[in-house]
Amino acid sequence: MQNLMRANNELFRRTQDERFGSLVELWQHCQNEKEQSIERWHPPQVLVSQPADSRLTLAMGEDGSFGMTDWSFSQLCKLADVSKDTLNKLTPDTASRVLGETLPSGTKPLQALTTGETVRAIHRASYTRLYNADLLTMVREFATDFVPPQKAGDASGSSDAGTDTDGGTGLYCGEQDMFCFLIDPTGWTEIEGEAFAPGFFLWNSEVGKRSVGVQTFWFQAVCQNHIVWDAVEVVEFSRKHTANVHDSLREIRGLIEGLVEKRDQRRDGFVRVIRKAMETKLGEDADEVMDVLNKRGITRKLAKEAIEVARRQGGLTIFAVVDALTRIAATLKNGGDRTEADARASALLTLAAEA
């Protein structure tokens, strides 16, 4: 089993304005950005940096002049093969002349992504964009039961942990990239006698900061700092933003559909096991039940208490005894004893599957 830190890392680097409370809210933000964005294609020589007060703008012929984000300015420096740190030490006028002499020439156009009066990204022609909104549209269609985890700092019903991570939602979108952490809180089932629920991470960047990808998994717990504990069946897929990047929508959809299908199969199987456990007796009398429990590693003292509780609940079925053992285990003082008792109780359900 693995402990997954990806959502925890996102939590600690996201500011309040990058957090979204629901998948619909995040999708709407990304859809608005897509609708307001324009891809502008120009030969390199058309792109001209110009000083404007204490900063640089980027003129693109008849399209006009645009401001730049820190990310798009970094990309412009990379295209010019000039250190961003060096240019930041120069006056806007001098930096403009340096870029004018070092930006590439040629006939292959560059693509600039603008939103309003700002350039968000600058790429060579080989870059292919996948919009966040398109990715989230697919998720909304095929992961209908998945929701973000509890807000950071809310694990104990409070958000007074005293750090700026309080209220982190698992749903983020900033200037450079998007990230989603979604789980199915109703999808709990058993895998080899232990309880797991399905979840996945999803990420993308419209501006070239990171690849597009997904990581699916089954987990046992998510703490208030969004560390995913004891994950199994972890599957990851990612792809760079090249010509075939839109094929990743099909690949990611397939992984999410597979997760949902396995959840349904396991949940249906678990329901059948529980139903059978409620109908099947663990033994005909207390002595026979005691013998079964002892062979399963349950102490005589704990077994005797469980049998008495199960009888009061209506019988010595597998389910009644397991439920009784679980209730008693919760009262044990030692954490190790509680864990061991829970594990042995859950293992009894396999008797229903075998019956």
Where does the chain have alpha helices with state H? 6-11, 23-36, 70-80, 84-88, 92-102, 132-142, 247-279, 286-295, 300-312, 318-329, 335-347, 349-354
Residue 193 is predicted with a pLDDT of 64
Give 42: exposed, middle or buried? Use CB within 10 Å, 0-12, 13-18, 19+. Answer: middle
For residue 35, pLDDT beyond 70: yes
CA distances from 250 to 132, 242, 247 (A): 15, 15, 6
What share of the chain in percent tops pLDDT 90? 54
What is the per-residue pLDDT across 151-164, written as a single tens digit (0 to 9) for each? 887 443 333 434 45
What is the per-residue pLDDT across 261-286, written as a single tens digit (0 to 9) for each? 888 888 776 667 677 778 888 888 88
Number of CB atoms found within 10 A of residue 349's CB: 19
Q: 27-36, 73-82, 341-350 — which is least confidently predicted?
A: 341-350
pTM: 0.75
Mean pLDDT of 295-304: 84
What share of the chain in percent tops pLDDT 70? 91
For residue 212, pLDDT beyond 80: yes
Give 114: exposed, middle or buried? Use CB within 10 Å, 0-12, 13-18, 19+. Answer: buried
What is the per-residue pLDDT across 53-112, written as a single tens digit (0 to 9) for each? 888 999 999 999 999 999 999 999 999 999 999 999 999 999 999 999 998 888 889 999
Q: What six digits make up the tokens of 199?
A: 């979840």
For residue 28, pLDDT beyond 70: yes
Contacts with 248 (C-beta within 8 Å, 6 or more apart), sequence order: 130, 212, 213, 237, 239
Residue 224 is predicted with a pLDDT of 87
Residue 104 is predicted with a pLDDT of 86
